[in-house]
Copies of this chain bind each other. A is one copy, B any other.
Amino acid sequence: MVINRRLTLQRKIILEYLQNVKTHPTAEEVFNNVKIKIPKITLATIYRNLQILAKEKQAERLEVNGQFHFDGDLDPHIHFICKNCQIIKDLFYDDLVHYFEKKMETSGFSIKNFKIQCEGICKNCTQEA
């Protein structure tokens, strides 16, 4: 039951967009942006491809306040969500990631992937208060 994926233009543009943007777009936002380059693309195609990309670990799906967002950055990192401005910020804290992986392994779990996300107030918003 192995599927031989084809790199269609649609999939290529979607992936490129996810890899170049730093805003963690929703399916809708991916749609609006990809539509600029492929005007007749439909939401169904966006959904189908996002699902494929997530399943094949070329992108990550994350949930924030009930909405799904997508991230093309595969480097393990933490997502920080500001409760004020709603920005989703990437934090590449390698020591934290390592501590976490180590802990899980010494506890007897073989982990495949993980998600760490936290909410608070970002530096920008703290200053303005």
> What is the interface of chain A, defined by CB distance below 8 A to chain B?
63, 80, 83, 91, 93, 95-96, 99-100, 103-104, 107-123, 126
Would you give the shortest CB distance from A49 to chain B, in whole angstroms? 16
One complex includes copies of this chain to the number of: 2
* A118 lies within 8 A of B107 (CB): no
Other CB < 8 Å A-B pairs besides A91-B107, A115-B117, 4 of them? A100-B116, A111-B118, A113-B118, A114-B117
The 7 tightest CB contacts between A and B, nearest first, are A114-B118, A111-B120, A63-B63, A111-B118, A112-B120, A116-B116, A112-B119
Expressed in whole angstroms, the Cα–Cα distance for A112 and B117 within the complex equals 11
With contact pairs A114-B117, A115-B117, A117-B114 given, residues A109 and B122 touching in the complex (Cβ less than 8 Å): yes
Would you give the shortest CB distance from A58 to chain B, in whole angstroms? 17
* B91 lies within 8 A of A96 (CB): no
